[in-house]
């Protein structure tokens, strides 16, 4: 699990680097996710909570991984972080066309 989380965080960092380095129109979504746009900053705490949960699960010291309770807490933190990152990150921007064409 620790190796998978290292790979997930590495790819997450590579994605953020690509978005901010290229500075295309797609950077708008990444900026909205991490920093908010104008007065729209509802998802910002969730974005940083996802990064924290993923990093917390990865950096549990090996001695704590042998303890059943701390291992389960780390695994739950990883699952919560990945769910927040992959699920909420895909929500549309407020005010965009996709935001209003829900049935």
Structural domain contains residue 54? yes
> What pTM does this model have?
0.67
As a whole number of angstroms, the distance between CA 40 and CA 91 comes to: 13
Residues 59 and 51 sit within 8 Å (Cβ to Cβ): no
Provide the domain limits for residue 85: 2-94
Structural domain contains residue 89? yes
pLDDT in tens, 4-27: 778 878 888 888 888 888 888 878
Structural domain contains residue 99? no
Give me the number of domains the chain comprises: 1
pLDDT in tens, 41-69: 888 888 888 888 888 776 767 777 778 88
Helix 68-83 crosses helix 44-58 at what angle (to 10 degrees)?
150
Continuous H helices in 1-103: 2-22, 27-34, 44-58, 62-65, 68-83, 97-100
């Amino acid at each position: 699990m620790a190796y998978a989380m290292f790979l997930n965080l590495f790819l997450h960092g590579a994605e953020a680097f690509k978005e901010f380095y290229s500075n295309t129109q797609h950077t708008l979504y990444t900026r909205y996710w991490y920093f908010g746009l104008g007065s729209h900053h509802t998802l910002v705490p969730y974005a940083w909570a996802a990064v924290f949960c993923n990093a917390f699960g990865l950096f549990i010291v090996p001695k704590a991984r042998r303890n059943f309770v701390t291992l389960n807490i780390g695994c739950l933190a990883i699952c919560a972080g990945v769910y927040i990152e992959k699920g909420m990150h895909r929500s549309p921007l407020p005010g965009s066309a996709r935001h209003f064409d829900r049935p």
